[in-house]
Structure 1
């Protein structure tokens, strides 16, 4: 495993690009190829996350969870306790309105 953060980042970017290529490649989606691209993307993300943490003690601001993890009932109860007034939408950035040209 490479411990060079730049190499890990480049690998992650390549995995994102490959995933996009597979997703947009044809009218009919190749499910097997998409699953492989998703797996490669997940692995590249975890590699990058691990390299940053081991090298600089830095954590990414988000996590990826496997789909087969059990949903914790306590999490559901905590979600129910949150009210709309607990959040300030004024500073939220709507990524769908961003100009990415």
Structure 2
């Protein structure tokens, strides 16, 4: 059964808000509420992305890292990500929006 992308988007947005609330009210460095909110957010994102692809043939520009990758797998991709992160400065983009 196909999931309605709009319903999946609503769930994804709610998961983003719940994750933010968990992070801002964190009681300890390893607060289980933050971990739980992370898992719910990741799941909601995947459902939304799949629903969007199934219904409209489109996907988001984001991806989730597979935490189950072995030490040897994905190392090349990790190096590419680190290079990309060096090139992208969020503060530069935030300043542009303020102008």
Scaled by the length of structure 1, what TM-score is found? 0.68
Q: Deviations over 1:7-51 (max 9, x none)?
A: 111111110110110111155356211111011000000000110
Contact 1:19/1:41, CA 8 A, preserved across alignment: yes
Contact 2:9/2:48, CA 8 A, preserved across alignment: yes
User: How big is the shift at 1:68?
Assistant: 2.4
For residues 52 and 19 of structure 1, what CA distance do their matches in structure 2 show? Answer: 22
For residues 2 and 21 of structure 1, what CA distance do their matches in structure 2 show? Answer: 30
Q: Deviations over 1:43-81 (max 9, x none)?
A: 0000001101111111221210122212427726xx48x
Q: CA RMSD in A?
A: 3.0
Contact 1:11/1:44, CA 8 A, preserved across alignment: yes
Residue ranges of structure 1 left out of the alignment (5+ in a row)? none
Instruction: Tell me which residue corresponds to 1:28.
Output: 28
Contact 2:5/2:51, CA 8 A, preserved across alignment: yes
Instruction: Tell me which residue corresponds to 2:73.
Output: 72
Bigger RCO (CA 8 Å, 6+ sep): 2
Identify, as 1 or 2, the structure richer in helix: 2
Scaled by the length of structure 2, what TM-score is found? 0.69
For residues 69 and 28 of structure 1, what CA distance do their matches in structure 2 show? Answer: 27
For residues 63 and 74 of structure 2, what CA distance do their matches in structure 1 show? Answer: 20
